[in-house]
């Protein structure tokens, strides 16, 4: 039966046996969009951004929240490793010190230049000049490091060469993953590791830690908490543990023990790897399993200072490239979810106002007018201050102030469609209201809603960036383009890359989105000039 | 002969007033546009009632009120014994099956986002879903019905996957006609179905409507402001002016002996497709504007522009006079009494007397 219908539908052939396929408005719009080169470029860039954000976890990036304090504020570089950059930075500092001590002798002109640069706080220029001249003189033999400086440099070089980064992915005992064991077995494993015969001592210690942990989580007045006697404490804790349930307690206990084992294993493995690297028996990056105390451990390890940071690092030594990508993830998400939120509210209220008309329309539209009159950023800032700073609150705060325009638009559209002849035709054939709304009105207003939404996304990203810039948006260690830019601005003169790269990433996306939105608007407008 | 036919639709003193409101929260009503102001007529089975009149005289509002797209302010629309104005939702939907509309603008009356197939099948689908058809139709049957309708109105069934914007005006009007025919209606309300089309296409559509009428025994209420079109298609013609019917007669009778001064002026304005006669043609040129429909007139609604105005007309609303031979006209000239000698003062005094009597 179904196939019969399909055949019937496809049987729309003309006298030459050619299948006649309709050309819907959407198809037509797509054709027109493809003709608009800027819009297509914009669309490709937007899709690229979306793909990169969506598949960020699969990309070979450093963790966006991994803090390596040795790598603070390293510049962007294609070929130099983090170690080389660290060395360079150290040398800049030491050469400058040497110039100040008088051991590095520069010409009068150069010295005068440096003094003037210091007055203008052009730190980078000073450092670069010192480095350049120092290296030149060092090579010519007219300058030698003082013994203490030489020692500092040697120590740094050794650190750069030897520091390894160890990551333990899995710990197995025989064939079982340690994460799946219960607390008793974990305690036994830990006991054998640190050379104890039975587990009582370990469990005692762990229970104490758990009590402290539970006690900390209890919400209570701080003064009262401090003045409790030991017995009172014990009863409160017991009650709380009972409330939390055995399963939860067991889970936390196992987690605690696993953490202890992990720390111990990390120490052991690092020692082994360091020894082996000193003997030169392994090469990095290293990825293998190691046997320690009867446990099989999957380890990946690398020389931390051999890393490359294409776009440099930030003030905590986090990779800027991965922060921009993960920040983009959050910014784009805020753009999309905020838009969906505001479009949803806008469509519902706008359609109600437009379709029902009368008093409902009047009241909704006056609310919209009043809200238009208020400075919306102020409302968002007040919301964020009252409800706390979290991403969810950010969505809600932006959503409640941004549905106004779409509500007005949808209302106008519905009002004009309500009196159109094809809606009258549908009514005269006895169609129900919901059928008219869903089959006629919404499909016919969808194009402007789509266009508006695509143009709305960049403005949401801008608003979020603005809030992050003010310190009300996304909080570290999470990142968004706005917060990255805000961090970058603080040290714009010394570390310009921290401002430039996030700004480029954001600007490019906003441009692309705007061109794409404009293209969509032209494509959906049947009166536009580039008609087929 | 026409008397033997069954009366299908009766319209009694139909009024459609659109309120003028202040807007705002209180939304006080401060007046009304009297778009249709008390019209009565009957439509017999198989005939075509043409309605003519200038723009804004309430032709379209009349058919929309009959179709219950606007709920009439007062009056009755009785279709086969059922008063549509007081009918319940369910009865009304059932009646709608028999009363279908064809719209004026073939560009605006088809949903641009639907294929021709879904446009034509929409009435069937709506009624099928509500279980109001004699027999539940399967998808395949609906599909076949759509093809049959398309071929009946002269469209290639290969076009059923296409969208309205891919058709010319005439083809679109055919789609609109196919949609109106889908439920096998008894009466079709055609709201200026040809006025947006080229003259050559107009003829095709009119011929199609004529054929369909003969074949399916349809009844039409047909609106146009082209007098030639009305003459061609109608069996009876109603002439409307400012929300009222001023003259109602058989088509031939009306065109040969127009009784009302307005009808005479209207007919004299129609060009004649013969240059020699056209050049000699005497035209009655009306002066002045159509009065605003938001005021109640004390006298004849046409008196301000009437070339045969008498003092009596300014303060007495004319009733309908039967001239015999189904010819009805609302004009004081056709009363048995001769009012032309009555002076303005006497007429005014008579009107005031009537007013007090009513009080």
Rounded CA separation A153/B43 (Å) = 109
pLDDT tens for A76-93 read 888 888 888 888 888 888
Residue A128 has pLDDT above 60, yes or no: yes
Disruptive mutation site among A9, A359, A421 for chain B (greatest number of B CBs within 10 Å) = A421
Half-sphere exposure of A144 (CA within 13 A, CB side): 5
Rounded CA separation B226/B206 (Å) = 12
Instruction: Give me the helices (H) in A102-229, please.
Output: 108-119, 123-140, 147-162, 183-194, 200-217, 222-226
Answer yes or no: do A435 and B96 touch at CB < 8 A: no
Residue A528 has pLDDT above 60, yes or no: no
| Angle at A181 (CA atoms; ends A180, A182), nearest 5 degrees | 125
* Mean pLDDT of the region B55-61: 87
Q: Is B329 exposed, middle or buried (0-12, 13-18, 19+ CB in 10 A)?
A: buried
The H or E element containing residue B230 is helix B227-233
| Closest by CA position to A473, among listed A399, A398, A404 | A398
Total length of chain B: 359
| Cα of B194 to nearest chain A Cα, Å | 15
- 3-state class of B64 per DSSP? helix
| Angle at B268 (CA atoms; ends B265, B274), nearest 5 degrees | 170
Cα-flanking dihedrals φ and ψ of residue B280, to 5°? Answer: -85, -5
| Closest by CA position to A257, among listed A194, A320, A326, A344 | A194
Answer yes or no: do A23 and B162 touch at CB < 8 A: yes
The question of ipTM being above 0.90 is answered as no
Answer yes or no: do B163 and A426 touch at CB < 8 A: no
- From residue A181, give the alpha-carbon distance in Å to each of A171, A177, A255, A500: 11, 7, 10, 49
Residue A163 has pLDDT above 80, yes or no: no
| Closest by CA position to A322, among listed A70, A490, A501 | A501
Q: What is the pLDDT of residue A527?
A: 57
Beta bridge partners of A173: A176
Q: What is the pLDDT of residue B1?
A: 43
Residue A187 has pLDDT above 90, yes or no: no
Q: Which of B96, B108, B130 has its CB closest to that of A422? A: B108
pLDDT tens for B315-335 read 888 888 888 888 999 988 888
Query: Is B195 part of the contact surface with chain A (CB cutoff 8 Å)?
Result: no
Rounded CA separation A70/A313 (Å) = 11
Disruptive mutation site among B161, B181, B192, B193 for chain A (greatest number of A CBs within 10 Å) = B161
Q: What is the pLDDT of residue B2?
A: 45
Query: B77 to chain A: which residues are within 8 Å by CB?
Result: none
Q: What is the mean pLDDT of chain A?
A: 81
- From residue B320, give the alpha-carbon distance in Å to each of B11, B37, B44, B333: 15, 14, 20, 11
Residue A299 has pLDDT above 80, yes or no: no
Answer yes or no: do B69 and A420 touch at CB < 8 A: no
Answer yes or no: do A431 and B157 touch at CB < 8 A: no
Answer yes or no: do B96 and A358 touch at CB < 8 A: no
Q: What is the pLDDT of residue B23?
A: 67
Structure letter (DSSP) for residue A313? B
Instruction: Give me the helices (H) in A245-357, please.
Output: 246-279, 320-356
Query: Is A435 part of the contact surface with chain B (CB cutoff 8 Å)?
Result: yes
User: pTM for the whole thing?
Assistant: 0.70
In A, minimum Cα distance to B126 occurs at A431
pLDDT tens for A513-526 read 989 988 888 887 65
Residue B357: pLDDT band with limits 50, 70, 90:
low
Answer yes or no: do B143 and A8 touch at CB < 8 A: yes
């Amino acid at each position: 039966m179904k196939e019969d219908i399909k055949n019937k539908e496809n049987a729309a052939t003309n006298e030459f046996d050619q299948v006649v396929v309709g050309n819907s408005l959407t198809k037509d719009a797509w054709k027109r969009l493809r003709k608009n080169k800027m819009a297509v470029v914009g669309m490709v860039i937007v899709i690229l951004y979306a793909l990169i954000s969506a598949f960020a976890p699969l990309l070979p990036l450093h963790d966006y929240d991994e803090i390596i304090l040795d790598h603070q504020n390293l510049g962007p570089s294609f070929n130099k490793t983090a170690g080389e950059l660290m060395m360079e930075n150290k040398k800049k500092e030491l050469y400058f010190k040497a110039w100040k001590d008088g051991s590095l002798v520069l010409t009068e002109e150069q010295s005068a230049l440096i003094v003037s640069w210091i007055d203008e706080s052009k730190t980078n220029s000073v450092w670069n000049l010192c480095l350049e001249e120092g290296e030149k003189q060092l090579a010519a033999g007219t300058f030698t490091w003082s013994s203490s400086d030489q020692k500092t440099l040697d120590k740094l070089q050794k650190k750069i060469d030897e520091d390894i980064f160890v990551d333990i992915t899995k710990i197995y005992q025989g064939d079982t993953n340690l994460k799946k064991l219960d607390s008793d077995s974990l305690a036994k494993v830990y006991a054998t590791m640190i050379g104890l015969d039975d587990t009582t001592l370990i469990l005692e210690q762990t229970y104490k830690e758990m009590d402290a942990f539970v006690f900390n989580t209890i919400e209570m007045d701080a003064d009262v908490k401090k003045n409790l006697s030991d017995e009172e404490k014990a009863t409160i804790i017991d009650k709380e543990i009972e409330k939390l349930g055995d399963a939860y307690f067991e889970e936390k206990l196992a987690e605690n023990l696993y953490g202890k084992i992990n720390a111990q294993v990390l120490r052991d493995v690092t020692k082994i790897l360091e020894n082996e690297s000193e003997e030169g028996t392994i090469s990095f990056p290293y990825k293998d399993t190691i046997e320690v105390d009867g446990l099989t451990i999957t380890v990946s390890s690398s020389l931390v200072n051999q890393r490359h940071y294409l776009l440099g690092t930030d003030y905590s030594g986090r990779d800027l490239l991965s922060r921009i990508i993960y920040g983009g993830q959050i910014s784009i998400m805020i753009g999309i979810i905020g838009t969906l939120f505001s479009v949803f509210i806008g469509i519902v209220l706008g359609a109600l106002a437009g379709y029902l008309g009368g008093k409902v329309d009047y009241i909704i539209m006056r609310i919209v007018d009043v809200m238009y009159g208020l400075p919306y950023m102020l409302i968002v800032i007040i919301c964020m201050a009252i409800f706390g700073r979290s991403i969810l609150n950010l969505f809600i705060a932006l959503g409640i102030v941004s549905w106004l325009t779409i509500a007005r638009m949808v209302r106008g559209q519905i009002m004009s469609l309500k009196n159109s002849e094809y809606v009258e035709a549908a009514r005269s054939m006895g169609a129900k209201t919901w059928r008219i709304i869903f089959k006629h009105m919404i499909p016919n207003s969808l194009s402007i809603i789509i266009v508006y939404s695509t143009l709305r996304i960049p403005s949401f990203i801008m608003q979020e960036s603005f809030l992050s810039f003010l310190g009300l948006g996304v909080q570290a260690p999470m990142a968004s383009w706005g917060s990255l830019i805000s961090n970058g601005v603080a040290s714009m003169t010394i570390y310009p890359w921290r401002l430039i790269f996030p700004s480029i990433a954001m600007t490019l996306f906003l441009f692309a989105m705007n061109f794409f939105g404009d293209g969509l608007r032209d494509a959906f407008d049947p009166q536009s000039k580039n008609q087929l | 002969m026409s008397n033997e036919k069954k009366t299908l639709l009766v319209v009694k003193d139909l009024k459609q007033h659109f309120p003028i409101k202040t807007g705002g929260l209180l939304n006080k009503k401060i007046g009304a546009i009297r778009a249709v102001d008390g019209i009565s007529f009957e439509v017999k089975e198989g005939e075509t009632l043409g309605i003519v009149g200038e723009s804004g005289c309430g032709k379209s509002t009349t058919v929309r009120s009959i179709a219950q797209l606007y709920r009439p302010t007062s009056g009755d629309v009785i279709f086969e014994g059922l008063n549509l104005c007081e009918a319940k939702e369910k009865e009304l939907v059932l009646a709608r099956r028999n009363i279908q509309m064809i719209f004026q603008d073939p560009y605006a009356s088809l949903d641009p986002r639907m294929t021709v197939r879904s446009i034509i099948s929409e009435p069937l689908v709506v009624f099928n879903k509500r279980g109001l058809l004699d027999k539940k139709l399967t998808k395949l049957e609906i599909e076949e019905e759509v093809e049959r309708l398309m071929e009946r109105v002269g469209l290639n069934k290969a076009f059923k996957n296409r969208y309205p914007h891919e058709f010319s005006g005439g083809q679109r009007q055919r789609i609109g006609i196919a949609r109106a025919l889908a439920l096998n209606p008894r009466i079709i309300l055609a709201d200026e179905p040809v006025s947006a089309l080229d003259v050559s296409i107009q003829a095709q559509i009119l011929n199609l409507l004529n054929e369909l009428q003969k074949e399916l025994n349809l009844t039409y209420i047909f609106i146009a402001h082209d007098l030639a079109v009305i003459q061609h298609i109608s069996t009876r013609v109603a002439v409307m002016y400012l929300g009222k019917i001023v003259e109602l007669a058989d088509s031939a009778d009306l065109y040969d002996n127009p009784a009302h001064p307005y009808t005479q002026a209207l007919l004299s304005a129609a060009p004649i497709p013969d240059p020699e006669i056209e050049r000699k043609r005497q035209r009655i040129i009306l002066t002045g504007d159509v009065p605003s429909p938001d005021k109640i007139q004390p006298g004849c609604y046409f008196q301000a522009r009437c070339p045969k105005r008498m003092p009596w007309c300014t303060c007495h609303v004319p009733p309908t006079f039967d001239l015999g031979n189904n010819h009805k006209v609302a004009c004081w000239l056709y009363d048995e009494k001769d009012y032309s000698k009555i002076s303005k003062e006497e007429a005014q005094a008579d009107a005031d007397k009537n007013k007090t009597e009513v009080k």
